[in-house]
Structure 1
Amino acid sequence: MSSRVQISMSNFLRLTLFLPYFAFITCIVLTIFKDIEKSTRTHCKVSNFLPSISAITAGFEPQRFIWRVSFGLNSIIRYLIGYLQLQRLLNRHHIASREFYILIQKINSSIHFLELTFLLVLTYVSSNEIKLIHQCGFIGFMICSLLHMLCTILIDYYWPRTKTTCFNDREKFIRAKRLKWFIYNIISFFISLYFFFRHNFFCEPYIYSMYCFFEYFVILTNISYHSVIREEWDQEEGQIQFFY
């Protein structure tokens, strides 16, 4: 005999937003009030006022525990949602060049799953433990994240449809919102890189904190980009069923 638990898709997607926001806000607040001096210390030995995400998650308790548990649980949910989203996209019947479209969507989903995997590596291997693996996780995460967002937007805007089907207002709103968060994300990323290299080359006070500030925006805009799927699924409200 088996039992069945039903969870609405809307509530399921809310959970994917709550976990990273909870970890992000809680860990930053705890670090600023509890470990600010140690977390802002760099090789330049200049004054700073914000900790980096790597510093927050590397060696302070309970921040490291909160971050790893929250993002670990969130990644499991996002793998499932990524799979469900792929099935939803492959079931579209108004797409032209359907065989090629299916191939591209599977490749794009694979990139998304790689993004989630690199995020797990980045989360569970800190810079204090194995720095090279942590750096590779960060580079892999950023490449796959930006590539997945870009591919999704290009498909949304430019993939041909059958002549009888046009974009409705809801679809236009959703794709415009994805584009907005992608632009914010990539701008924040390049600004953070600018401050990171400026800090390493010139060792100026507070420049590393500016890098941290825009690093926060990279994370928040990434979460916001992926949150758009909730509005996309709102018009197709359904339930997820679990059996045990």
Structure 2
Amino acid sequence: MESDDTSVPMLGSQTTSSSRGRVSLLKVRHVSIIASLLPASALIICVLTSLHMHFYQTTNTHCKVKNWLPSLSALVALRPEKYIWKTAVALHFWPRVMMMVTYFQYNRMRDSSFWSWLVEIIFFLELTCLTVLTCVTSLDNFRVHRNSFFAFIAFSTLHMVVRVHQSRRLLKRNYMTLTLVKRKLMITVLYFVSVILAALMYIMHNTLCIAGFYTLFALCEYIVVIINLTFHNLVASNFSDHLLFIKPGELFAISA
């Protein structure tokens, strides 16, 4: 990946001041890690809390068979789990938006086609659907929660596919390494397989009512979340040597 020629003084400082306002410098890698750790740590805390406080409520289904793990929808429907999850997703939203703007600005200079717009629009729709299904739990409004979940899966999968395609375009222009493109493709395939397995486990649980299938469905959901976060970190790794330059009205990446 080629580096930008732009440089600024005081790269070692996180904040500085100028006549036009306060300036902040953040490492892209750190922003991405924080954005991923928030939902990942919240997921672990919510699972442990749910198993300890609401095991029966979150693992019991209409089949009345034994299960050992709660699904994501059941996991974040009760207190305090739903507040933990909502807080984590809300805090992780803006770092993701910052990353989205950074990706767009960086890639638009290297690929002026509509793909640079399309991939970030899909990325934003993915974030929006995640926020909606988080704010509206299955107990609040099942239909809205269900539709938001399906939309999130659709947009997140599409985001990965289009992002890989755009990465292949950048590879031809020597702005991307072949190894990184292959890793994105592998993660995308794993994500798709995990989504299919989750759907199969859910259908088999509802139709056959065999003990354990709901647990396997929940486990597949957890894997889907982890793979999604992994993909986002992989995308950010293309900017591991960049800083986010932030000041009122402006946000862009610079080479460290």
SS of residue in 2 equivalent to 1:58? coil
Name the structure 1 match of 2:181: 175
Greater strand share, structure number: 2
Separation in structure 2 between the aligned mates of residue 28 and residue 133 of structure 1, nearest angstrom:
23
**Alignment gaps of 5+ in structure 1:** none
How many percent of aligned residue pairs carry the same amino acid?
A: 24
Q: Does 1:109 align with 2:120?
A: yes
Cα drift, residue 84 of structure 1: 1.2
Cα drift, residue 159 of structure 1: 6.7
Name the structure 2 match of 1:138: 149
**Alignment gaps of 5+ in structure 2:** 1-18, 250-256
Amino acid of the structure 2 residue aligned with 1:203: C
Name the structure 1 match of 2:101: 83
Separation in structure 2 between the aligned mates of residue 54 and residue 6 of structure 1, nearest angstrom:
37
CA RMSD of aligned residues (A): 1.9
Name the structure 2 match of 1:156: 167
Q: Does 1:205 align with 2:224?
A: no
Report the TM-score, using the length of structure 2 for normalisation.
Answer: 0.84
Separation in structure 1 between the aligned mates of residue 117 and residue 169 of structure 2, nearest angstrom:
17
Name the structure 2 match of 1:215: 221
1:1-244 matched pairs, under 5 angstroms: 2-59=21-78, 61-92=79-110, 95=111, 98=112, 101=113, 103-157=114-168, 161=172, 165-166=173-174, 171-235=177-241, 237-243=242-248
Cα drift, residue 166 of structure 1: 4.2
Report the TM-score, using the length of structure 1 for normalisation.
Answer: 0.88
CA deviations over 1:95-152 (Å, ceiling 9, x no partner): 5xx4xx2x12212211111111000011000010101100110011111111111111
SS of residue in 1 equivalent to 2:64? coil
SS of residue in 1 equivalent to 2:76? helix
Separation in structure 2 between the aligned mates of residue 86 and residue 189 of structure 1, nearest angstrom:
27
Amino acid of the structure 1 residue aligned with 2:233: S
